Amino acid sequence: MNAFIQSAGFLTSVQDLGRAGFRQSGVSIGGALDAHAMRVANALVGNEDNAAGLEATLGKLRLRFEDQRVVAWCGGAFTVRIGAADLPPGHAGLITKGEELIMTAPNAGSRAWLAISGGIDVPLVLGSRSTDLRGNFGGHEGRTLRDGDTLQLGDPAISPARMAEMFGDRKIAEWTASSAWVTTAQRDRFLRILRGPDWTRFTPAAQTALVGEPFTVTLDSDRMGARLDGSNLERVNASDLLSEAVAPGTLQVPPNGKPILLLGDCQTIGGYPKIGHVITVDLPIAAQLWAGDLVRFHEVSLAEAQQLLREREDDFARFRVGLSLQRS
């Protein structure tokens, strides 16, 4: 069965959790910029964590479905409707044959992740269904979606009869996920960082400015990285560096002193000094940054970053158990 793209929006692409294991060949991880949001949405509709869904940027998305499905979304402050019913973030919704899902532009944040029961059944490329927009492969024909596209859907794990039983006479499920997981757009954007391997290459004034002053996201930002404007982060000396591995969350500083926060489509190596690295649990906040947003950084220890990630993974495991009990 299929989903039909009535309106593709500003920038919508098929994404899963990314393309792991190929960075040594220069292939970026890619995938949903907020992998945790994609996992939560997939869990809500009965999919495996890595099922392919949609990443929508700035909304204005409209889909029509050929059969009955369960859908859920997480992300910025979007408005999503199934027919005449509002679908809040972090809730599963039942959509019937011929019905439309409409997503409009957000009041805050920039991206949303939509899961559909059964997932989007596009071919695997290097172990992933994600769209690599720079390499033009994966996803749906290696590109963003366009009006009139048709997406083939996989077979849902939950039968239509069980779906109807679960929802009863309701269209929107009452059970939901943590609000911190499903609505990641924040007015005060604080990103926690670890000191990078090149921290001491920067002047004390630059180190203080990074964690003490706000930075503004500039227009030339995309899925590869968010370019930031603010105080110039000056180095102790301007000597060249050998290119080294980088990853989503790395804060690089080019010669102009303006930091770049790397995101999911970032390159695999880079030669700019790395002053810091955003911790994993804060990457969902980073994924919502858009031109004009203000962001501040706060330094934490590696032990604290690891503990926060362990706690989130433990909470997610319990969330999965709770959903299985809800469906039993």
Mark residue 17 as left, alpha or beta (left: phi above 0; alpha: psi -120 to 50; beta: remaining).
alpha
Average pLDDT, the chain: 93
Q: What is the pLDDT of residues 72-95, one digit of tens each?
A: 999 999 999 998 899 999 999 999
Asked whether the predicted pLDDT for residue 3 surpasses 80, the reply is yes
- The residue behind tokens 């911190």 is 180
pLDDT of amino acid 107: 87
Reference 45, options 13, 24, 22, 68; nearest CA is 68
Domain edge (last residue) among 128, 155, 182: 182
Same domain, 155 and 298: no
Say how far apart CA 201 and CA 41 lie, in whole Å. 41
Same domain, 215 and 89: no
Question: Is 325 a domain residue?
Answer: no
Same domain, 227 and 99: no
> Using an 8 Å Cβ cutoff, are 109 and 288 in contact?
yes
Same domain, 167 and 215: no
Which residues does 194 contact at the CB level (< 8 Å), separation at least 6? 276, 277, 279, 299, 300, 301, 302, 305
pLDDT of amino acid 187: 64
Q: What is the pLDDT of residues 249-271, one digit of tens each?
A: 999 999 999 999 999 999 999 99
| pLDDT band, very low/low/confident/very high, at 305 (cuts 50, 70, 90) | very high
Range of lowest pLDDT (53-57, 166-170, 282-286): 166-170
% of residues, the chain, pLDDT over 70: 99
- The residue behind tokens 């004009």 is 292
Domain edge (last residue) among 182, 206, 239: 182
Same domain, 102 and 174: yes
Question: Is 216 a domain residue?
Answer: yes
Strand partners, 74: 113
Say how far apart CA 295 and CA 292 lie, in whole Å. 10
Same domain, 143 and 26: yes
Question: Is 136 a domain residue?
Answer: yes
> Using an 8 Å Cβ cutoff, are 131 and 139 in contact?
yes
Q: What is the mean pLDDT of residues 137-159?
A: 94
Asked whether the predicted pLDDT for residue 34 surpasses 70, the reply is yes
Helix, strand, coil fractions of the chain, as percent rounded to 5:
20, 30, 45
- The residue behind tokens 């999965």 is 320
Identify the CATH number of the domain in which residue 225 sits: 2.40.100.10
Which residues does 263 contact at the CB level (< 8 Å), separation at least 6? 33, 223, 224, 225, 226, 248, 286, 287
Question: Is 246 a domain residue?
Answer: yes
Radius of gyration of the chain (CA): 20
Same domain, 173 and 194: no
Question: Is 322 a domain residue?
Answer: no
Question: Is 319 a domain residue?
Answer: no
Same domain, 52 and 171: yes
Helix/strand/coil (H/E/C) assignment for every residue in 81-101:
EECCEECCCCEEEEECCCCEE
Most distant CA pair in the chain, distance: 67
Same domain, 221 and 80: no
- Strand duo 225-229 + 215-217: pairing: antiparallel
Question: Is 317 a domain residue?
Answer: no
Same domain, 32 and 150: yes
Asked whether the predicted pLDDT for residue 164 surpasses 80, the reply is no
CA 48 to chain centroid, in Å, comes to 17
pLDDT of amino acid 280: 97
Which contiguous run of DSSP H or E holds residue 250? strand 250-252
Say how far apart CA 235 and CA 257 lie, in whole Å. 8
Same domain, 171 and 259: no
Task: Domain of residue 214: give its range.
Answer: 189-307
Same domain, 160 and 194: no
Which contiguous run of DSSP H or E holds residue 316? helix 302-327
Sign of the torsion angle spanned by Cα atoms 118, 121, 99, 62: positive
Domain edge (last residue) among 152, 182, 212: 182
Tally the domains of the chain: 2
Question: Is 128 a domain residue?
Answer: yes
Q: What is the mean pLDDT of residues 91-116?
A: 94
